């Protein structure tokens, strides 16, 4: 499923969540400081709790603008190595999710081919084909159980939080 479809299913890009007043992944004192830094840098006032509650879309627009600003200022991989690592993790999970169904089809093909070889060569050492079947089953189970849209959302949440924490370097 393409990223834009995931965002549509989630009701938008998950990033703004970390800057919202209602989100508790960053303590309120630090969040106020980050809002202040970003307001100064963007020459625009951050939404108050009341404004965010009254117009969440407008608040998220400000937060997305903050994300754009932070991503542009945090491109130095050596200085923002944790942020870079979280971005790589997010990208890996997103790409793996995109390959979920082709991976499951390939698993089925390998299992079918191994089963056919086991049937065809029943007099030879079959343990090697049995191992392939077990590995295919484990791989398929991993794809079904762990490669989910929730794993992408979790990685995006961690990346978003780390992006907000990069404000510490901007002050």
> What does the pLDDT look like over 100-113, one tens digit per residue?
999 999 999 988 88
Domain count, the chain: 1
Residue span of the structural domain in which 130 resides: 3-169
Judged by average pLDDT, the poorest of 19-28, 60-69, 100-109, 116-125 is: 116-125
Mean local confidence (pLDDT), 150-157: 90
> What does the pLDDT look like over 48-75, one tens digit per residue?
999 999 999 999 999 999 999 999 999 9
- Average confidence score pLDDT of the chain: 89
**Euclidean distance between CA atoms 143 and 96, whole angstroms:** 9
How many Å is the Cα radius of gyration of the chain? Answer: 23
Q: How confident is the model at residue 4 (pLDDT cuts 50, 70, 90)?
A: confident
**Nearest by Cα to 169 from 22, 41, 29:** 41
Whether residue 126 is predicted with pLDDT greater than 70 in this model: the reply is no
pLDDT at 125: 61
3-state DSSP helix/strand/coil percent for the chain, to nearest 5?
75, 0, 25
Whether residue 127 is predicted with pLDDT greater than 80 in this model: the reply is no
DSSP track, 60-129: HHHHHHHHHHHHHHT--TTTTHHHHHHHHHHHHHHHHHHTHHHHHHHHHHHHHHHHHHHHHTTTS--HHH
């Amino acid at each position: 499923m393409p990223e834009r479809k995931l965002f549509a299913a989630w009701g938008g890009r998950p990033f703004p969540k970390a800057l919202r007043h209602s989100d508790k992944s960053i303590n309120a004192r630090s969040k106020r400081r980050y809002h202040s830094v970003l307001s100064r840098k963007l020459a625009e006032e951050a939404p108050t709790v009341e404004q965010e509650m009254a117009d969440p879309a407008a608040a998220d627009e400000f937060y997305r603008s903050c994300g754009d600003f932070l991503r542009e200022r945090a491109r130095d991989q050596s200085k923002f190595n944790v942020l870079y690592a979280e971005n790589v993790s997010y990208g890996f999970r997103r790409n793996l999710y995109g390959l979920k169904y082709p991976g499951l089809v390939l698993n089925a093909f390998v299992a079918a081919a191994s089963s056919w070889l086991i049937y065809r060569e029943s007099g030879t050492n079959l343990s090697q084909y049995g191992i392939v079947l077990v590995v295919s089953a484990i791989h398929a189970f991993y794809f079904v159980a762990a490669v989910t849209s929730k794993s992408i959302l979790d990685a995006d949440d961690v990346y978003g939080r780390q992006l907000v924490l990069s404000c510490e370097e901007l002050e």
